[in-house]
Structure 1
Amino acid sequence: MKNIFRLLLLFPLWGLGGCQDFTTLEKDPNRPVNAPASLVFNGVLNDMYNVVNGGSAWGDKARWNQYYCSNYNYYATNEYSWTTTDLYYFTIKNVLKMEEEAKRAGLPEQNPYSALGKFFRAYFFENMTKRVGDIPMTEALKGLESPTPKYDTQKAVYVQVLKWLDSSNEELAALIAKGDRNLSGDIYLGNDLVKWQRAVNSFKMRVLISLSSKDADGELQVKQRFAEMISNPTKFPVQASMSDNLQYTFNNFNKYPRNPSNFGFNATRENMAKTYIDLLVTRKDPRVFVVAEPAEAKINAGLKATDYEAYVGASSGEDLADMSTKVLKGEYSFQKRARYYSNDVGEALFLIGYPELCFNIAEGINRGWATGDAASWYKKGIEASMSHYGIADAATLTTYLDGTLVKYAGNNQTGLSQIVTQKYIAFFQNSGLEPFYNQRRTGIPTFLTGVGTGNSGRIPKRWQYPATERTTNVTNYNSALSSQFTGKDDVNDLMWLLK
């Protein structure tokens, strides 16, 4: 027995004495450290919807875009009660991993994953900076080498974003010319590099338009870059039709946010917003018949479902209790339940859509950044949006386009307002917070405020930085606040992009 006891004591000592490589011990054999680039790529694509655009169809973002209102505060309010926001460094880390895995698998330095990796950097960094302002970029994602990264100015971020987009376009063009097909895992564009190149350049158009207040900046070269894209479509191909949309398609597993299973939870606890509905009604826009139902009280008063005046939205600033009472009286329009609750698939959600591109090109030409036919692009944008709702009758389109408020007024301020208004209408339940960002940039359309929107009747201009910045990167966080917002992390302060 004594000998056995001695053996039991000696065995663990012998075992420890033979294990000198602690890095080996730390590895979990059941947890993979590598994955195919295509699998990581697929995850990044899902993040484009889940992280950036998730909830844009009938979620918080759609209420902040003032497309619809909540009338039942148990589930949601219409307040802009913004505090901190998430940033997307984890997703960008996966982009770096995707590129690493592509090379590990033997692909050359220039490959589809590296080309799209530059686009993803631009996409996510641009989304982050327009949420908060200055952000860590140059020193970000370096781990222990730079655990407290300094903040880059918002301007520096945009300069780099444009460089990434140009590099992505050039690499994709070279890969297409070589017939490279080393891409898989694509849930959006079927691994088609031609369509990806168009999406990259269409996104660049979005970025340039978002910099409209900085179009005189010599380093950004907004006007010059826009003119170059317009004059050289071979070098900078953009989306040519709705078939080029970068869009998320729902299915019976990943269901559309409104579907038969949640009919009882949402169908009448939400109603249409006045900001959006009034734009349709005053323009006699047939899209209103597709997206909304007539107010019951209007029908009871003798109007028909085909009368534009039967469609009524609630002000997002209205007291929620008052709104709820009026809903019970049938005073407001609901979403078109036959459209949005008929099945699980619903409609595609654009991330970067062709109608937006048309309006962005029209806006740039209207602003005098390049020569071209703004009226033609404006018309194309409207027709493309109408097609999304199944409206293609030539007579209907002609009547609408010739309407007093719709017929293009020319390359002047009225024409600019028409373009931005139609872009807002086309953004309905699509493209995340782009309707909000366009409104923040131009003031079009006028967002309604009041007790229901909170924030002392103001529409916020930004979000606060993540709480982790205050605890793990406090010195650089405070420095960024001092240089931008006189030391405050206030949702109502103006970032460089808006000054």
Structure 2
Amino acid sequence: MKAINKWSIGVAVAGMMLSSCTKNFEDINKSPVISDNAPPELLITQAVKGIVDRDFDWFYDAYTYQMQWMQFGVASPGSSSTGLFSPTNTNDFYNAFYKNIGRNLVEIENVVAKKPAAEQGQYANVVAVAKILKAYSAWRVSDANGSIPYSEAFAARSDANYTPVYDGQEKLFGLWEAELKAAITTLQSGLSGQAALGNNDIFYTGDVSKWVKAANVLRIKLAMRQLKRAPEKATAIIKDAMAVNDGLFKNNSEEWKFLSADNSFARSNNWSMNGSPLSAGKNMVDYMYNNADPRIGIFYEKTSYTKALVDSLIKGGVFPADYQYDERRYYGLPSNPDRRSVAADSIIFKVKRYEMVFTDANGKKVVVRREVDTVSAVQRRLFDLDAENGNNNGARYTQPILSYAEQCFMLAELSVRGIISGDAATYYKNGVEASINAYDAMGREAKIQDYTPLDQATVVAYLAKPDIAFTGSTDVLLEKINIQNFLNLLKSPWEAWGAWKRSGIPKVGGILAFERMQVSGQYVAVPRRWALPQPSLANQVNWRNAIIEMGLSGEYGNEDNDFTGRVWWDKK
């Protein structure tokens, strides 16, 4: 396991936070070393830290599996794709929720409850924000695990219950909806004398109007997860959310995201792709290049084949004198692992090492050896501020949680499906523009080398491309919307994974073609969930009951480590 990167976001972190190195509920719920008089607004920092300081997840979940499953990236030439469909060292957000994130958020409620009645009211907004963060974090855990302990998970301190039940997703979605809606009601009540979160809130610095929007858009997203399983319930939630006053993001400045305060965050260690180098996926980069997608330079790096290098290779005798320079500098690798063993394709999976021979001024032969990138790498600087030789003066890291662009794509889809009113074409256009502008900002903040600032004329041209333009049958429109939503989620690959499972887009033979995966000649299914972690012996009965219950649908899989099985919302 790689070393954990140090946390630095430029905000004060309370020194009385909780910590644990066990996933057993009896240990998680031991009395924390924390003062009953600790200001609750300070306690939120450790929880939000746990949501974004996820370098372990990035290295193992994202780089090693999710980004390759979703074909954003492919194991680079010289690397191996062995084990791609047998994930290990994954799902650490599950443990983080119980060890840190969730229990710190619950502790905020406990600390407030212990204060004198006359003082408790001033923390209503703080508790409401904590509930939003808890609902989001629990949903993220459940989204790929299924049933999880929630309603009883943090009650051991009060009732010594060290064997919490596992709540099924149908129940969980109802609990989260109630909590989010209650939090919105509180935050919109205009309560006076409220404790200020300030810089302890790394997302919105305590701006309750923005938290209302984040919670309400999250309600829509969670409802869309349920459209196949509980369409009437999901539709009612969506319509209710659309009626909330000032309850939607208006632009990128209001979206839920983290922007580091300086360049000391997300540097090397597990943030780095060096241990799991990724090249561009061929279908992805071809789609973006052929449609002149303005985000391509933020998603992927150019190959090493500059005009100067090609001229040197010609002069050094590697390439023939009539070799034609290719101005295209974005190429990807096939995602199918078996393509590495196909004779016609194997050459592109090899590391290219050239030996050039020159004659110096004295007539002496000089040999120069070069290793050249013949395919584009995933843009490392977007994920690791130490990439590209660490020249990161003033660079900042961005992590979207719930974006304005994603909201627009959800509304476009809901409009096409007739669930909400509004012009689907406008929602779609706004989403594409918002995504492109958001990634442009990410690229500038990360100080990607040789980055070309966005020209808005390219956005207009992009929207007019046949594969992008909002034209076609209902099925085609839904496919185009979900392709754009999928692309927008590159920086949150766990969300792209979820979006793909929900929509089935990208798909084999689609506008953005999804490549079928083969290993040793056999087609293999892309995993759809994590294995639900096994608890301590005391709670294994509840754990096993949860697995049996999830299996009743016939889609979860017969074994708890069947990664191709489906959780409740992921209905066929």
User: If the TM-score is normalised by the length of the shorter chain, which range does it land in?
Assistant: 0.7 to 0.9
Q: 1:437 aligns with which of 453, 477, 498?
A: 498
Q: Which amino acid aligns with 1:89?
A: Y
Give the structure 2 partner of residue 477 of structure 1: 543
Q: CA deviation at 1:369?
A: 0.7
Q: Quote the Cα distance in structure 2 between the aligned partners of 1:448 and 1:138.
A: 40
TM-score by length of 2: 0.71
Give the structure 1 partner of residue 63 of structure 2: 59
SS at match of 1:55: helix
Q: 1:78 to 1:361 in 2, by over 3 A?
A: farther
Give the structure 1 partner of residue 208 of structure 2: 193
Q: CA contact under 8 A between 2:291 and 2:465: conserved in structure 1?
A: yes
TM-score by length of 1: 0.81
Q: 1:453 to 1:331 in 2, by over 3 A?
A: farther
Q: 1:138 aligns with which of 142, 151, 154?
A: 151
Larger deviation: 98-107 or 449-458? 449-458
Q: Which amino acid aligns with 1:241?
A: N
The answer to whether structure 1 residue 488 and structure 2 residue 550 are counterparts is no
Q: Quote the Cα distance in structure 2 between the aligned partners of 1:210 and 1:416.
A: 16
Q: How many residues align?
A: 459
The answer to whether structure 1 residue 45 and structure 2 residue 44 are counterparts is no
Give the structure 2 partner of residue 427 of structure 1: 489
Give the structure 2 partner of residue 158 of structure 1: 173
SS at match of 1:316: coil
Q: CA deviation at 1:173?
A: 0.6
Identity of aligned residues (%): 22
Give the structure 1 partner of residue 73 of structure 2: 68
The answer to whether structure 1 residue 224 and structure 2 residue 236 are counterparts is yes
Matches within 5 A, 1:449-468: 449-450=516-517, 457-468=524-535
SS at match of 1:212: coil
Q: 1:315 aligns with which of 334, 339, 360?
A: 334
Give the structure 2 partner of residue 85 of structure 1: 91
The answer to whether structure 1 residue 413 and structure 2 residue 475 are counterparts is yes
The answer to whether structure 1 residue 364 and structure 2 residue 414 are counterparts is yes
Q: Quote the Cα distance in structure 1 between the aligned partners of 2:381 and 2:143.
A: 36
Q: 1:424 to 1:225 in 2, by over 3 A?
A: same
Superimposed CA distance per residue, residues 203-234 of structure 1 (whole angstroms, 9 cap, x where no aligned partner)? 222212222313524xxx2112212333x241
Q: Which amino acid aligns with 1:477?
A: W
Q: Quote the Cα distance in structure 2 between the aligned partners of 1:318 and 1:288.
A: 24
Q: Which amino acid aligns with 1:318?
A: P
SS at match of 1:473: helix
Larger deviation: 185-194 or 280-289? 280-289
Give the structure 2 partner of residue 284 of structure 1: 292
Structure 2 gaps, min length 5: 1-31, 311-322, 354-371, 441-452, 508-513, 553-557
Q: Quote the Cα distance in structure 2 between the aligned partners of 1:179 and 1:442.
A: 45
Q: CA deviation at 1:102?
A: 3.5
Q: CA contact under 8 A between 1:485 and 1:493: conserved in structure 2?
A: no
Q: Which amino acid aligns with 1:273?
A: G
Q: CA deviation at 1:125?
A: 2.0
Structure 1 gaps, min length 5: 1-29
Q: CA deviation at 1:50?
A: 2.8
Q: 1:71 to 1:410 in 2, by over 3 A?
A: closer
Q: 1:465 to 1:111 in 2, by over 3 A?
A: same
Q: 1:150 to 1:275 in 2, by over 3 A?
A: farther
Q: CA deviation at 1:375?
A: 0.8
Q: Quote the Cα distance in structure 2 between the aligned partners of 1:228 and 1:472.
A: 41
Q: CA deviation at 1:498?
A: 1.5
RMSD: 3.6
Q: CA contact under 8 A between 1:79 and 1:455: conserved in structure 2?
A: no
Superimposed CA distance per residue, residues 312-367 of structure 1 (whole angstroms, 9 cap, x where no aligned partner)? 21123335685641666744112457876341634412111111111111111112
Structure whose residues are more often helix by fraction: 1
Q: CA contact under 8 A between 1:64 and 1:78: conserved in structure 2?
A: no
Give the structure 2 partner of residue 325 of structure 1: 350
Q: 1:350 to 1:74 in 2, by over 3 A?
A: same
Q: 1:245 to 1:415 in 2, by over 3 A?
A: same
Q: Which amino acid aligns with 2:331?
A: V
The answer to whether structure 1 residue 112 and structure 2 residue 125 are counterparts is yes
Q: Quote the Cα distance in structure 2 between the aligned partners of 1:119 and 1:146.
A: 25
Give the structure 1 partner of residue 301 of structure 2: 293
Q: 1:240 aligns with which of 227, 230, 250?
A: 250
Matches within 5 A, 1:368-383: 368-383=418-433
Superimposed CA distance per residue, residues 393-422 of structure 1 (whole angstroms, 9 cap, x where no aligned partner)? 443222111110111126711111111100
Q: CA deviation at 1:53?
A: 9.5
SS at match of 2:528: coil
Q: Quote the Cα distance in structure 2 between the aligned partners of 1:152 and 1:337.
A: 39
Q: Quote the Cα distance in structure 1 between the aligned partners of 2:380 and 2:144.
A: 33
Q: CA deviation at 1:33?
A: 4.2
Q: CA deviation at 1:442?
A: 1.5
Q: CA contact under 8 A between 2:75 and 2:276: conserved in structure 1?
A: no
- Higher relative CO (CA 8 A, sep ≥ 6), structure 1 or 2? 1
Q: Quote the Cα distance in structure 2 between the aligned partners of 1:165 and 1:124.
A: 12
Q: 1:302 to 1:193 in 2, by over 3 A?
A: farther
Q: CA contact under 8 A between 1:267 and 1:334: conserved in structure 2?
A: no
Give the structure 2 partner of residue 19 of structure 1: none
Superimposed CA distance per residue, residues 157-204 of structure 1 (whole angstroms, 9 cap, x where no aligned partner)? 111111111111111111x46474532311111221111111111222
Larger deviation: 162-171 or 276-285? 276-285
Q: Quote the Cα distance in structure 1 between the aligned partners of 2:420 and 2:306.
A: 47
Q: 1:481 to 1:233 in 2, by over 3 A?
A: closer
Q: 1:98 aligns with which of 108, 120, 132?
A: 108
Q: Which amino acid aligns with 1:237?
A: G
